[in-house]
Chain A
Amino acid sequence: MVKKEVEKLLRKVQKPARYTGGELNSVVKDKNSVKLRYAFCFPDSYEIGMSHLGLKILYSLVNARDDAWCERVFAPWEDMETLMRENGVKLYALESGDSLCDFDLIGFTMQYELSYTNVLNMLDLGGVPVLKKDRSALAPIVIAGGPCVCNPEPITDFIDIFLPGEGEEVTNELIDLLIKHKEKGSTRLEFLRDAAKIEGVYVPEFYDVDYNEDGTVKSVKSRETAPEKVKKRIISDLNTTHYPKDFVVPFIDVVQDRTVGEVFRGCIRGCRFCQAGFIYRPIREKSPETINNQCRAISNATGYDEISLCSLSTSDYTGIDKLIPMLFDWALKENINVSLPSLRVDNFSDELMEELKKVRRSGLTFAPEAGTQRLRDAINKNVTEEEVMRTASKAFEGGWTAVKLYFMMGLPTETMEDIAGIADLAQKVVDLYYRNPDRPKGKGVTVSVSCASFVPKPFTPFQWEPQDTGEMLIEKQKHLLSGVKSRKISVSYHQSDTSVLEGVLARGDRRLGEVIYKAWQKGCKFDSWDEYFDFSKWSEAFAECNLTPEFYANRRREYDEILPWDHMDYGIRKEFLIEENKKAHNSETTPHCRIKCSACGANKLNGGKCDARK
């Protein structure tokens, strides 16, 4: 419910439906009948935030309680923010229209490092003191979860509580606790002391960090009720945990606007560059029946005409051959399209291809990630050139004419030869198409090469590696372009400065809090949007804090250095990561978890169970 003073602004902004609320399946409760109000904040635009599955799960989970009301808050676009600030309108939640500062619990999901400044901006716009030391009352409590909080240190100045791992259980436990303390009239400190006792709750103010003279971490010591190490939470059984029966259906076009069926968590692959592949372990699968029922319920409740399956690598799902026919059985009759993202080339079966032909055909995407076999071995992307060619060949026979190839640049051990290999591989795919007698008649092929810049992340075997500098990346980009000879190949890549900042924030320590604060004061926000990103402001902020991005990004860390995130326990053993790092430098591969368990340690989080080895 939008308030009168807000409605006046809506006439002057782009896409006003971002700010109105009132979408189908949005939940409106009587605020006087609930004991706790929770503002779920996504620190980016409405279109990005409304595409996020985690938001949908937690929104529905909290709203299933009678004593709490969860609402949604997104970062307003600049035109709206300007008008809000000019007219003294605070950032509000879409369901009630009430200001952020009126809530008991404010939760941010940290999906990417470049959204940090938006957190500060949203708190400020919502009338909440940006620095946690300036917040003295019991409420609001600002919490954060999501993949970035595996290293929460750079944003500890702004967030009271971090929830590493999966949120379904701990969110409810924290809500119960806050309700209890509100009723008792406790102080903030009393609440935080109790919260720190819950497993998977990290209260940063109970940890003291000391630094060596060279700027590395000397020690991290816990105080009060806080454990020495904070263990991430996981959901043991995905078949019984909460999953939404409906989604809020946006009026405007958002990035992911369809039914989403989550098939499993974790990944068996162990690609060494991939943070998600490690921090979401161990593997836990849902049964095909559960997924089918959940998709059907959501499709009925939303009217969506498309279903997508979501996981880190959907074709690794052991129930895929059973699930696809189950979904097709009803979906096709109801004119609902089923799309399967993140398919890997190495297990793309003939049967799956046949099934895929029944539905609308989208482009085909492969991610070889590196241009040569040596480098693919080093990063443990166990895909060979023959496999890429074989699958592409099958795809061309099946009528596909557009192929997207995803690569990374700046990978550890990479040489210019590996960069040239990217162009060569793309060229081989083009040549393959024209050699194929069964290719679609009268059509050309398009091969789109998309090159991301590698960013070393915590809890991966590459967490100790130096990141390429902006100059090195630009040189590699030029080298790649010079190697592309065919007009059938298009190349796109990321801005190199953004990758550098992402790397700094990903592996940073607490001292970066001041840098982020200064950058935000200088006007930095929406850093993941090229049109807003301003590296010169960030550089000024670093200089004013006597810190350099190079210290965080381009330095090789020793195995025995205390890393800023060492007190976070994600199940993965450090010795395992060191082992993997050494193997990378010898271009040695590690078989995936279904072939052989590498004893990463994550199964301990689930009582020794891991669905990779059922």
Chain B
Amino acid sequence: MQGNKSWLDVRMFYEKTGMAKYISHLDTVRCITRAMKRANVPVWFTEGFNPHAFLTFAMPLSLGVESYCETVDFRLLEDVDLTELTERLNNALPTDITVKRIAAPVFSAADIRYAEYEIIFNNPDELLLKNAHSMLSSDEIIVPKKVKQGRKKVEKEVNIKEHIRTYELVEKDGRLILKTVLSSGNTVNINPSLLIGALTKDTNTDSQDVDIIKLKSYTENMEIFR
């Protein structure tokens, strides 16, 4: 243990791929909580009336999105070998959720500013192939976005162009692949489905026949979130 703290703050880096993309965020939280229990991880529990394992997820991941950059923070109450702990957790988790490593956190979850996605249109139609480039390079990409107005949630037209930091379009084997860095984090967060909706809106491309993969999270200075 470090200094006079009686616990060790750690961050678990994991991937959520394949069929696990169909597990919602809340269900993922429960799944990982149970895995901690099965793996006997000496994790700190809250001390209220309803003690529960104290886990902090950096960003909730939308249903249907695969990710290679998920993180959850927790406190370890005992000194344990982190490599061995990684292995123990992997044995207690379903196959499509894989822990890559556990380490002391470098940044705070609030430091996340951007996320990189790979968006694959499996069956793009002619219109999408023709228009995608010009749409992405135009000054305005207006989408309907649910925003909070006081306590209420209302739908507003917003321009997300300024939140697309970079993008790259590639056509491959009849598929259209968009690699893009979007604003992410707890101030501005652009869900890739907004962009997909805008791109497919006036086309005949099925907006649900799209694979979305989250590759990395970045800080303000484009350092990889660790």
| A interface residues (Cβ-Cβ under 8 A, vs B) | 2, 8, 10-12, 16-17, 20-24, 249, 251-253, 300-305, 334-335, 360
Contacts and interface: CB of A to CB of B under 8 A. Distances in A.
A17 B50 contact: no
A22 B38 contact: no
Interface of B: 19-20, 22-24, 27, 30-31, 33-38, 45, 49-52, 63-64, 92-96, 208-209
A252 B27 contact: yes
Contacts of A17: 22-24, 27
Given A302-B34, A303-B38, A335-B51, A23 B22 contact: no
Most chain A CB inside 10 Å of its own CB: which residue of B20, B22, B38, B49: B22
Nearest to B50: A360
Most chain A CB inside 10 Å of its own CB: which residue of B24, B37, B50, B93: B37
Nearest to B93: A24
Contacts of A253: 27, 30
A335 B33 CA distance: 12
Nearest to B27: A251
A526 to B, nearest CB: 22
A20 B50 contact: no
B33 A303 contact: yes
Chain A interface secondary structure, helix, strand, loop or mixed? loop
Nearest to B92: A303
A353 B34 CA distance: 29
Contacts of B96: 22
Contact of B94 (A22, A252, A300): A22
Nearest to A361: B49
Contacts of B35: 303
A262 B51 CA distance: 26
Given A2-B19, A303-B34, A11 B64 contact: yes
A401 B149 CA distance: 37
Contacts of A249: 31, 34
A303 B38 CA distance: 5
A299 to B, nearest CB: 8
A92 B68 CA distance: 30
A304 B34 contact: yes
Given A17-B23, A252-B27, A300 B38 contact: yes
30 contacts: A2-B19, A10-B22, A11-B64, A11-B209, A12-B208, A17-B24, A17-B27, A20-B19, A22-B19, A22-B94, A22-B95, A24-B31, A24-B92, A24-B93, A249-B34, A251-B22, A251-B31, A252-B27, A302-B34, A302-B38, A303-B35, A303-B37, A303-B38, A303-B92, A304-B34, A304-B37, A305-B34, A335-B45, A335-B52, A360-B49
B155 to A, nearest CB: 21
Contacts of B94: 22-24, 251
A11 B212 CA distance: 12
A195 B92 CA distance: 41
A253 B26 CA distance: 9
Most chain B CB inside 10 Å of its own CB: which residue of A2, A11, A252, A301: A11
A96 to B, nearest CB: 14
Nearest to A12: B208
A63 to B, nearest CB: 18
Contacts of A303: 33-38, 92
Contacts of A23: 94
B56 to A, nearest CB: 18
Contacts of B49: 360
